[in-house]
């Protein structure tokens, strides 16, 4: 259940592009054609699926406060979390390089479709953002971290696919001169983000109702208590 919830939440509600603006640069630059957008999107899913769990391990066993306890008691008080930026980015850069080499060796066809995008990805904010949000949202287990990486990748993929398709069509429309290209892309993305906001209630809807009920109950209980107190007061006065 936890997994399913995180999966849909990262794709629709906390969509990387529409809710947190991660990876906007490549999102705007590479979304002119659907085919290249698909290539970059696939590469992002792939790299996120590898780097987020890796960085989760780094965070849990090296960087967090007290994470070094497995080395021995004298290390238990170390807090290396200030190093997380440099560790995360180093992991990402090396992983991207490694993935490039491995893919080139074992699957030339995949390399041909992903290859040119891999170097772009090392500096894509979506990848580092994935790791940093994983850290700040305190994802609990390795499985959830993997899930988070894959599903945020899918969310990003969906976003770039949609904007690329719209941009291919909008070429035939009569857009006002100064808005052409970048300007209209921004405004369309804004409108798409408004659309994605409607997913916001998808998972929390039930919970909010339940909470309202409980607060209502609390209020009625409080009122009951007040009435009782008032009654008690009255009886006391009568006794006097």
Per CB under 8 A, residues contacting other proteins are: 18-25, 28-29, 82-86, 88-90, 93-94, 97, 119, 122-125, 127-129, 132-133, 135-136, 171, 175-184, 186-187, 189-191, 193-194, 197
Q: How far is the CB of 134 from other proteins (least distance, A)?
A: 10
**53, 85, 119 from 10: Cα distances, Å:** 15, 22, 25
Q: For other proteins, give the closer residue by CB, 83 or 230.
A: 83
Cα-Cα end-to-end distance for the chain = 61
Q: How far is the CB of 8 from other proteins (least distance, A)?
A: 19
Q: For other proteins, give the closer residue by CB, 197 or 203.
A: 197
Q: For other proteins, give the closer residue by CB, 69 or 104.
A: 104
Q: For other proteins, give the closer residue by CB, 26 or 151.
A: 26
Q: How far is the CB of 147 from other proteins (least distance, A)?
A: 19
Would you say 13 and 92 are in contact if contact means Cβ atoms under 8 Å apart? no
Q: For other proteins, give the closer residue by CB, 204 or 232.
A: 204
Structure-token match 């497995």, residue found = 70
Q: For other proteins, give the closer residue by CB, 75 or 85.
A: 85
Q: How far is the CB of 3 from other proteins (least distance, A)?
A: 23
Would you say 185 and 31 are in contact if contact means Cβ atoms under 8 Å apart? yes
Q: How far is the CB of 225 from other proteins (least distance, A)?
A: 31
Q: How far is the CB of 239 from other proteins (least distance, A)?
A: 46
């Amino acid at each position: 259940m936890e997994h399913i919830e995180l999966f849909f939440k990262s794709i629709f509600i906390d969509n990387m592009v529409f809710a947190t603006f991660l990876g906007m640069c490549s999102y705007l630059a590479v979304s002119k054609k659907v085919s290249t957008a698909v290539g970059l999107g696939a590469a992002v899913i792939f790299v996120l699926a590898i780097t987020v769990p890796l960085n989760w391990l780094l965070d849990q066993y090296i960087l967090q406060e007290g994470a070094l306890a497995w080395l021995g008691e004298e290390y238990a008080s170390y807090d290396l979390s200030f190093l997380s930026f440099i560790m995360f980015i180093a992991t990402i850069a090396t992983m991207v390089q490694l993935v490039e080499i491995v893919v080139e060796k074992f699957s030339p066809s995949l390399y041909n479709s992903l290859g040119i995008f891999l170097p772009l990805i090392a500096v894509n904010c979506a990848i580092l953002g994935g790791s940093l949000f994983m850290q700040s949202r305190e994802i609990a287990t390795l499985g959830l971290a993997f899930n988070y990486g894959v599903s945020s990748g899918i969310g990003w993929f969906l976003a770039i696919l949609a904007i690329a398709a719209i941009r291919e069509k909008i070429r035939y429309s009569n857009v006002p001169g100064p808005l052409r290209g970048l300007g209209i892309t921004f405004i369309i993305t804004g409108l798409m983000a408004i659309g994605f906001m409607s997913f916001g209630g998808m998972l929390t809807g039930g919970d909010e109702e339940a909470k309202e009920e409980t607060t209502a109950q609390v209020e009625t209980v409080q009122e009951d208590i007040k009435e009782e107190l008032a009654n008690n007061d009255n009886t006391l006065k009568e006794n006097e």
